[in-house]
Chain A
Amino acid sequence: MKTSAPSDQLTKRIIACLDVDAGRVVKGVQFQQLRDAGDPAELARCHAEAGADEIVLLDITATSGERKTLVETVRRAARQLFIPFTVGGGIRTLQDAAGIFDAGADKVSINSAAVANPALIGEIANRFGSQAVMVAIDGKRGVNPPQEAEVFVSGGRRAAGKRVLDWVREAEDRGAGEILLTSMDRDGTGLGFDCELTAAVAGTVSIPVIASGGAGNAQHFLEVFSAGKADAALAASIFHFGTHAVAELKQALQDAGIPMRWPC
């Protein structure tokens, strides 16, 4: 029985980010019926059930030597997660990445390590496929146009001496499968994504661009999916106010005409 073909329905993705320090989620989360609010594995599962399209776990552990904790955390989180799962933070070598994949991650996110050693992008892509490599970029432009946005590394503490638009082009050429673009100007402000910068990046590469930094309300997501031309948007704190947050956000965006995986 044939029905008419559906129209192009690739949905815009809503990605929940968990910032993890020494095996614990650091931002307060208020899911109901949560046994352990700081447990990344349980939180990841809750976000997935609430309707998040993807989970990113970022290890922000300041001290080195916590790698075993991270791998164990990833393993526990991956066990009950059946949506795409990305892990970032402290991945410096192909071996680091292999350990994270072995623990159950689908993608790794590399940031400073890719800037320091751009060949790492290709090494991971050759072994695990481009779809498994997300290059994360912290960009800052102040009042300058997007073309002048600069790349920062080491958690935003140091300028890398590269322009964002040059770096995304290189990252794509080297085999990156997605770009995770964080606006340092907007991060933590709740004032909305940097749509101009996001659109400039999306116009430079053909791989998907995930916007991050500045999400405060549903309108901000609507803007970054339309004017910002983002393929996905990532946020942490906005989802940390209960299981209904993702549902309400997706419903609002769908009502506004943005294709969403909703209901799911």
Chain B
Amino acid sequence: MIAIVDYGAGNISSVKKALEYVGAGAAVTTDPAIILSAEKIVVPGVGHFCRCQALNLHLREPVLNAISRGAPFLGICVGMQWLFEGSTEAPETPGAALLAGQCSRFPAEVKSPHVGWNRIELTGNSRLLRGIENGSFVYYTHSYRAPLVPATVASTCYGGAFSGAIERENVFGVQFHPEKSGKTGLKILENFCAI
């Protein structure tokens, strides 16, 4: 069973629907006990980084404990940004700091938000992106982005390169929305379910 962590960050029904479509059992939950014992964990998220405060308050420990005992974790959009130290969008809200670096706004010379289909450049070996072709299109909608780090396995260029996907051991994250990225996105979710 995959626990989809509900911390009040927008609409998460499409994530559940897509996971179920690729054959996974998934439950939306706010229950620390369920998260702690879940086989896998997904932290979705759209909107403002300050929403992560709700995650920090009640669910940070069970999520981090589940990660340390090896449960595969997938953060989507703000859920991926949360893996970093924080975001200039909400400086008072810390991230999980599993990855070094701050998320920041797109530079002024490009239109923000970055909304639509863009390519991912594969930059490293990845279990999450197994079978995904270099240059595949995925759907983004965000105004802040994570820097390139050693864990970056896919990057996208928009006002400079940023992390499209990260991967380190059992920790995975995607800035784009796999649940909205057509066949490419479904394949990525399928890969996650198979890990």
Contacts and interface: CB of A to CB of B under 8 A. Distances in A.
Contacts of A12: 116
A13 B116 contact: yes
A177 interface: yes
B141 to A, nearest CB: 4
Interface in B148-195: 155-159, 161, 179-183, 185-186
B33 to A, nearest CB: 25
B157 A5 contact: yes
Given A129-B47, A130-B47, A11 B17 contact: no
A129 B48 contact: yes
A11 B137 contact: yes
A8 B140 CA distance: 13
Most buried by A among B10, B21, B110, B158: B10
Contacts of A232: 116
Contact of A177 (B18, B141, B156, B179): B141
Interface stretch (A29-37, A99-107, A215-223): A99-107
Interface stretch (B58-66, B67-75, B84-92, B117-125): B117-125
B118 A10 contact: yes
Nearest to B159: A8
A263 to B, nearest CB: 9
Interface string B92-130: 000000000000000000111111111101011000000
Contact of B117 (A53, A80, A102): A53
B7 interface: no
A104 B17 contact: yes
B38 interface: no
A117 interface: no
B118 A11 contact: yes
B134 interface: yes
A97 to B, nearest CB: 10
Contacts of A9: 118-119, 156-157
Nearest to A260: B117
A132 B113 contact: no
Interface residues of A, number: 39
Interface string B42-68: 000011100000000000000000000
Contacts of A130: 47, 113
B18 A207 contact: no
Interface in A95-142: 101-102, 104, 106, 127-132
A178 B157 CA distance: 21
A39 to B, nearest CB: 19
Interface string A1-41: 11101111111110000000000000000000000000000
Contacts of B23: none
Nearest to A1: B124
Interface of B: 9-11, 13-14, 17-18, 21, 46-48, 110-119, 121, 123-124, 134-135, 137, 139, 141-142, 155-159, 161, 179-183, 185-186
Interface of A: 1-3, 5-13, 48, 53, 78-80, 82-84, 101-102, 104, 106, 127-132, 177-178, 206-208, 231-232, 261, 264
19 contacts: A5-B121, A8-B158, A9-B118, A9-B156, A11-B117, A11-B118, A48-B182, A78-B14, A79-B17, A84-B180, A104-B14, A128-B47, A129-B48, A130-B113, A206-B111, A207-B113, A207-B115, A261-B137, A264-B182
